[in-house]
Amino acid sequence: MPRFTLALLLAACTASPAAADLVPIAIDGWFDDWAAVAPLSTDPAGDDGATGIDFGRLWAANDQDWLFLGFETGADVQPDEQQDIRLYLDTDLNAATGFAYGGIGAELVWNLGQRSGTFYRGGATAIDHPDIGLQVGPTVSSTRFELALRRDAVPANGQVLFPGGSVRFILRDGASGGDVAGPATYSFAAGSEPVPSLDLGRADPGHLRLAAWNVQNDGLFAGGSAETAQGRLLQVMDPDVLVVCEVWDHSAAEVAAVIEQHLPSGPGQEWHAVMRDGGNVVCSRLPILQSWRITPTYRNTAVLLDLGPGADTDLLLVASHWRCCTADADRQNEADAVVAFLRDAKTAGGTITLPAGTPMVMAGDLNLVGWQQQLQTLLSGDIQDEGTYGPDAAVDWDGGAFTPVVSRHPDQRSAYTWFATYSSFYPGMLDWILYTDSALTLRNHYVLETRTMTAATLAASGLQAYDTTDASDHAARVADFSLGSPLSAVPGPAPAGAWARLLPNAPNPFNPSTHLRFALEGEGTVSLAVYDARGRLVRDLGARAYPAGEHTVAWDGRDASGRGAATGVYYARMVTTGGAGTVTATQAMTLLE
């Protein structure tokens, strides 16, 4: 369950630099990867002003490319407007240079709520967020935030942002009587934490691939360089089901024809398509059994997809494109309406009645840029307007939450799906995929953002660096699923006397890494994976052939996105095939902070 009470950045005076940790942070609005970072300091509680902003714990970390800052605000605030939080960053530890405030000389003063800043080196120069590579998470309101700034940034006048090995900073609520946290000092850790490149293909051809893509104002019909880029991107996505947002002036059949041009159907295949809400088109290689418009005034369409004779269930998909920008009331109505529709679908009678355990997915551009309550309604089923939409209802069949897919770029620890260099708004995670994890297991997933890909990934995928921006102003979300309860993915122990044995990992408990150990009495191919306590895949460690004997494979305590796993119980799963048959086994292991 995601945590949206946020905590991150400055406070209380420190005379000497804090010990530095080389910790790669994914700027995605989730904070599990900060668990390995001790707070720099904690600002005293109860010194907030009229805004209610009361800074708490402050964090800092870095990798070879980024400085990461984290802070708690006490009050629920938006990251990009309706507040006056200012960051004063002294990057040369010289109080006599830069903008003088609070006993430091700040080379960078950044106003988060105004989305603007000034760089004080070689003069005072107004700068924009792309000048410093600024990323902020989450995109919705929160009580905790994380920031990233590029260490190689040259904001203005040919002057670098970070000339030395330490920084000092202050956070200030600029409202009258507002809280101030800091100064806090941080020294960069040396070393390198390469970003593991994600495989853009399916791990198993049997996995169901879903993609969601806002194509920007009927962009599928723009022709020229946009069409060329879209074709390359669609070849990589290769979806079974594609949610297309912003189709204003074309029909579902016209969209299906364009997709067919880029992804021609094979024997016995065709692209099915439906548009019920005047904006979203669902294109599917799977037959569309039924479709509904969830609300008459909003862009939310539900479709029931036939998963084929090999499956004992259908799949319900909600395709959405919610209202943008400051339309929080509209987005809340949309969130309430979707939860109400899914509650109805799980209950006998009404518009639709699904068999228990039917997998459900929601995908599209949700424009979650305002208050977090809209997201919380989706996750927890907490309907705000119960007079109109009825009582609260947990979305998943097991009484749990809708599970968000938290993806990153293939070659960068960033989660944003929209980034416009011409806009003052920060890169944001506007496009979402959520699913019922009692009925689906998440497999490979990523944000198809080409601007942050390495040359090797681009070449291997047949992509160009600016395909994302040539094709649209949004990057596509891609997620692969397998059917069935994820708990069934974690098998029991190997039978006694089996020719392949999964041994206890060492060390155990562990932090941050451990070694998975196994023994073979003959040659075999061993596949290893790590699952969490609910049976969800955390990390696929791959498969390879091994000779007889004892072997070890390291797990670094990170998931497929490179984020550190949280404290808890995990399961090592081994599947071994060879001349003596197939052996499957599980071993519990504990990760402690």
Same-domain check for residues 232 and 86: no
In this predicted model, what pLDDT tens digit does every residue of 256-290 receive, in sequence order? 999 999 999 988 899 999 999 989 999 999 999 99
Note the pLDDT of residue 29.
Answer: 93
Tell which residue, 529, 505, 535, has the closest CA to residue 517: 505
Strand order in the sheet with 124-127: 124-127, 116-120, 108-111, 85-90, 166-173, 180-187
- The CA-atom distances, in angstroms, between 111 and each of 115, 117, 301 are 6, 6, 39
Tell which residue, 386, 297, 274, has the closest CA to residue 339: 386
Same-domain check for residues 477 and 579: no
Note the pLDDT of residue 391.
Answer: 97
Note the pLDDT of residue 16.
Answer: 39
Same-domain check for residues 269 and 360: yes
Same-domain check for residues 416 and 479: yes
* Residue 197 maps to a domain: no
Note the pLDDT of residue 225.
Answer: 96
Give the 3-state secondary structure percentages of the chain, helix then strand then coil, rounded to 5: 15, 35, 50
Same-domain check for residues 220 and 127: no
Same-domain check for residues 322 and 468: yes
131: confidence class by pLDDT, cuts 50, 70, 90: very high
15: confidence class by pLDDT, cuts 50, 70, 90: very low
Same-domain check for residues 461 and 359: yes
Same-domain check for residues 495 and 465: no
Q: Is the pTM of this model over 0.85?
A: no
Same-domain check for residues 438 and 289: yes
pLDDT for residue 444 is more than 60? yes
pLDDT for residue 19 is more than 70? no
Top pLDDT among 431 and 12 is at 431
487: confidence class by pLDDT, cuts 50, 70, 90: low
Q: Half-sphere exposure of residue 582, counting CA atoms within 13 Å on the CB side? A: 4
* Residue 26 maps to a domain: no
Q: For residue 513, what is the domain's CATH number?
A: 2.60.40.4070
Note the pLDDT of residue 569.
Answer: 82
The number of folded domains in the chain is 3
Residue 431's domain spans which residues?
Answer: 208-484
Domain boundary among the residues 466, 484, 502 is at 484
Lowest mean pLDDT, pick from 189-198, 412-421, 489-498, 558-567: 489-498
Q: What is the DSSP string of 367-421?
A: ---S-THHHHHHHH---S-HHHH-S---SSTTS-PPEEP---BTTBSB--SB--T
Top pLDDT among 22 and 212 is at 212
How many other C-beta atoms lie within 10 A of the C-beta of residue 569?
Answer: 11
Domain boundary among the residues 432, 462, 484 is at 484
In this predicted model, what pLDDT tens digit does every residue of 332-372 receive, in sequence order? 999 999 999 999 999 999 899 999 999 999 999 999 999 99
* Residue 196 maps to a domain: no
Q: For residue 93, what is the domain's CATH number?
A: 2.60.40
* Residue 1 maps to a domain: no
* Whether the Cβ atoms of residue 322 and residue 366 lie closer than 8 Å to each other: yes
536: confidence class by pLDDT, cuts 50, 70, 90: confident
User: Residue 124: which residues within 8 A CB-CB, separation 6 or more?
Assistant: 99, 118
Give dist(CA 549, CA 531) in Å, integer: 25
Same-domain check for residues 215 and 350: yes
Q: State mean pLDDT over 390-413.
A: 93
